[in-house]
Structure 1
Amino acid sequence: MLKVYGLKNCDTCRKALNWLQSENIEHQFLDIRKDGFSESDLNRWLSVLDHEQLINRRGTSWRKIDPSIQESLSEVNAASLVMSEPALMKRPIFDDGKKLVLCGFRNEQQDILKSL
C-alpha cells in the first residue's frame, strides 16, 4: 500500500490526500511528527531522491537552521539533520515500500501516481 508521509496541517499534503481519494488510490497517511518514520526509510528516500531534492530550503524550518549548518549541508549530514527536524523535508513523500519514492505534489508526481 502507498504510504504518504507529511504533516496534517500542510496545505500541499491535504491537497495530495484529497486528490488520492478522488482518484481512488489506496493509501495510508503518516504524520512525520506524530507517527514518525524510520531511519531506514529516510536512508532509502535519500538514496532515491538525493538530499538536495528532499530538503525544503524555502520553508520556515530551513530558515530557523543556523547558517553555518545550512552552508555545510551535505549527503553525509542530511539524514541526521532531517531526523532531528523532520519538517525540513519537502512534503508529501510517497513511498510504496519497494522502489517508488516521490517527493512533492506536482503534475509529474500525479502522473506517476495515476499509473500505479
Structure 2
Amino acid sequence: MAIEVYGLDKCSTCVKARKWLDRHGVDYRFVDYREQRVPAEKLKRWAEAVGGFDQLVNRSGMTWRNLAPARKAPGSDAEWTLLIREYPALVRRPLVVLADGDISLGFSDALFARLFGKAK
C-alpha cells in the first residue's frame, strides 16, 4: 500500500506537509477529501485507529464552531460519518495513511521525520 495523504488542497498545513514530503523524496498520493468524499466505512476505520471520532474531528476550526449546536453531538458512528461527509473540513489535517495502514494526524517536521525516518 502506498502512502496516502488526505486533506484539503488549499489548507496551509496540508501544503506544508506536501512540501516536506516532496523535499524529502517521499512517494505519496494526495487526496482532497472535498473533491473525493471519503466512504463511511473508511471514516469509521480512521476513527477507530485514532481513538474515536472525537480525535478525528477538529473542534477548534471554523467549520466546527459554525455548526448548529444540535449538530455538534452526533449520537452514533452513522451520524458522525454523515456530518463529516457533509463537512469534510471537520477531519483533522493532514491525515496520513502509512504504507503499513497506520494512521497519523497533523503535521510537524518532527512528526514527519519520525514517521518517514528522515533526518532533519
TM-score range, shorter chain: 0.7 to 0.9
Residues 78, 21 of structure 1: CA spacing in aligned structure 2 closer, same or farther, 3 A cutoff?
same
Q: CA deviation at 1:102?
A: 0.8
Work out the number of aligned pairs and report it.
115
Moved over 6 A (4+): none
Structure 1: any 5+ residue segments left out of the alignment?
Answer: none
Q: CA deviation at 1:113?
A: 2.1
Identity of aligned residues (%): 30
Question: Scaled by the length of structure 2, what TM-score is found?
Answer: 0.83
Question: Scaled by the length of structure 1, what TM-score is found?
Answer: 0.86
CA distance in 1, matches of 2:25, 2:76: 36
Q: Establish whether residue 61 from structure 1 lines up as the match of residue 87 from structure 2.
A: no
CA distance in 1, matches of 2:61, 2:116: 28
Structure 2: any 5+ residue segments left out of the alignment?
Answer: none
Give the corresponding residue for 1:41: 42
Give the corresponding residue for 1:110: 112
Root-mean-square deviation (CA, aligned residues, Å) is: 2.0
Give the corresponding residue for 2:97: 95
CA distance in 1, matches of 2:103, 2:33: 16
CA distance in 2, matches of 1:74, 1:113: 33
